[in-house]
Amino acid sequence: MPKFEGLKTDSTFNPDKPQQTLQEILTHICLIEEMRRGSVTRQILKIKRKGQREPALGGPYALFTCKKNGRTVGRRLRDAKEIRRLEQQVKNFRTFQNLCSRLIKIGEKICEKRERKEDR
């Protein structure tokens, strides 16, 4: 999975070079191969045992949840390799969302800059 290091944040955005930042973001978006909506959480269950008043705690169990057709669906993850893979895919999706949001902001700044030049 690709690492996304060295990308400028909004605070270090150079307003004189929006095209360069735009190209950097597009390059990073192209590097994302696997992404998935949803989340990976840990679930702890209360298990009622015969002859005991207090339930025992079971887990933690890894659980992947996401929305499908307007409903939340989940499945338990058993394999550590699968857990890491799904966690990375979810992280990649969040990175993708962040990059798209920044892409929109920079696109708007480019439009505003062009409008100011046309008004002169």
pLDDT (average), residues 15-44: 91
Residue 17 has what pLDDT? 81
The DSSP call for residue 38 is S
pLDDT (average), residues 62-91: 97
Residue 11 has what pLDDT? 44
Q: Both tokens of residue 67?
A: 């929305």
> What percentage of residues in the chain have a pLDDT greater than 90?
60
Ordered alpha helix ranges (H), 33-73: none
Given a cut of 80, is residue 85 above it in pLDDT? yes
Long-range contacts of 67-73 (CB under 8 A, 24+ apart): 67/37, 67/38
Q: Is 68 within 8 Å of 38 (Cβ atoms)?
A: no
Q: Which one is predicted more confidently, 10 or 73?
A: 73
Greatest extent of the chain over all pairs of C-alpha atoms, in Å = 84
Q: Is 96 within 8 Å of 81 (Cβ atoms)?
A: no
Q: Is 62 within 8 Å of 42 (Cβ atoms)?
A: yes
